[in-house]
Structure 1
Amino acid sequence: MRKRKWRNAVVTAAWVAVGTAAGALGAWQLASSDSDGAGGAAHSRPLDEAAVRKALAASTPTPTSRSTSTPPTPPTPTSTPSAERSTVRFTGGSATVECRVDGTVRLVSWSPADGFHIDDDVERGPGAVARLEAEPGDDDDQPDLPYEIRCAGGTPKAKVLPDRDDG
């Protein structure tokens, strides 16, 4: 019995020592990282306007002398810069849509609402219209909801169409 009490006291003392050491190490790290105001810790003080300008000036590359024979190549865009993305919601779900300057539409992604799934034969575009069909999960009494999505004035509009499968 006496041995057990001794072991419990040693284990408790070890836990207290580890906890104290961890707390002291954390306090030291916080104090040392914020001592110059630029320690990079998440709790660092926000920069004032002068400090922001100084940091921007330091990160801006200085112009170098270039050969004038080869102009710099512009970066290749990964998506159409003239496309405005927005979300359109409809009974069977929602879709993220790009409305392009030329009036075409492109489906970027879509998500079904609870109790629905989106049929596999989605017409993403780009084109005058994009199409998808929201189908009810287990309810055969509820009709499929085919949608046509167009962009009007840069805003996507979803319109339910008559179900083509009903004959």
Structure 2
Amino acid sequence: MRKWRNAVVTAAWVAVGTAAGALGAWQLASSDGAGGAAHSRPLDEAAVRAALTASTPTRASPSASAPPSPSSTPPPTPSADRSTVRFTGGSATVECRADGTVRLVSWSPADGFHIDDDVERGPGAVARLEAEPGDDDDQPDLPYEIRCADGTPRAKVLPDRDDD
């Protein structure tokens, strides 16, 4: 009698485990990926644009909405084209503005370098940053000047300004 009871209990546990596994597999297989399922694929650029376009709220007519408060309206800025400029010590995302000025939006050092804290990001006629080698004292610092020419950023290495 005791053998039968152990066999029945074991069979019940196996049945419950199998049912739970099957339910989990069914749930995963029937998921459309919207819930962040493990098998969902990343979107390509066209799919991202389509999703952003679909999720952008439509604007109500001016008469249907209240005017924005002065504190919530951002100050007007000249239109700008963003692009990335690459140089030996790293890269930078740059805005070349319609008024001819340049502004560093962000920057990232290349492997083995770091960007000095003394960055002149603009907006101005010129933006400046300096890429410094990590642990190599034999390699010189690389100060860069970034300008926009015809809406395209150009990085030019300058002579090192430090008086070591």
TM-score normalised by structure 2 residue count: 0.63
Q: How big is each residue's C-alpha offset from its partner over 1:67-88, in whole Å with a ceiling of 9 and x where there is no partner? A: 69976789x4588471111111
| RMSD, aligned CA | 6.5
Deviation at 1:16, TM superposition (A): 3.6
> What stretches of structure 1 move > 6 A for 4+ residues in a row?
4-12, 30-33, 36-66, 68-74
**Partners of 1:48 and 1:163 in 2: CA distance:** 42
Q: Distance in 1 between matches of 2:18 and 2:157?
A: 65
| Structure 1: unaligned runs, 5 residues or longer | none
| CA separation of 1:7 and 1:81: change in aligned 2, threshold 3 A | farther
Shift of residue 155, structure 1, vs aligned partner: 1.2
SS in 1 for 2:63: coil
Counterpart-to-counterpart distance in 2, 1:141 and 1:19: 64
When residues 15 and 136 of structure 1 are mapped into structure 2, their CA distance, relative to the original with a 3 A threshold, is farther
Task: Please give the TM-score of this superposition, normalised by the length of structure 1.
Answer: 0.62
Question: Displacement, 1:21?
Answer: 2.4
Q: Assess, with a 3 A threshold, how the Cα gap between structure 1 residues 166 and 26 changes in structure 2: closer, same or farther.
A: same
Q: Is 1:139 aligned to 2:151, yes or no?
A: no
Inter-CA distance 129–40: structure 2 relative to 1 (3 Å threshold): closer
Distance in 2, matches of 1:136 and 1:49, equals 35
Worse-matched range after superposition: 47-56 or 23-32: 47-56
Query: What's the CA shift for 1:132?
Result: 0.2
In 1, Cα distance between equivalents of 2:58 and 2:129: 51
Q: Which of 1 and 2 has greater Rg?
A: 1
Deviation larger for 77-86 or 146-155: 77-86
Q: After superposition, give the CA deviation of every residue in 1:4-41 in whole Å (9 maximum; x if it has no partner).
A: 999996786466434432355357658988xx999999
Query: Shift in Å at residue 52 of structure 1?
Result: 16
Task: Tell me the distance in 1 between the aligned counterparts of 2:161 and 2:79.
Answer: 34
Distance 1:117 1:55, change over 3 A: closer
Number of residue pairs matched by the alignment: 161
Change (3 A) 1:14 1:129: farther
On the 8 A contact 2:145/2:158 being kept in 1, the answer is yes
SS at match of 1:67: helix
Distance 1:93 1:101 in 2: 25
Indicate conservation of the 8 Å contact 2:142/2:157, yes or no.
yes
Question: More deviation in 95-104 or 7-16?
Answer: 7-16
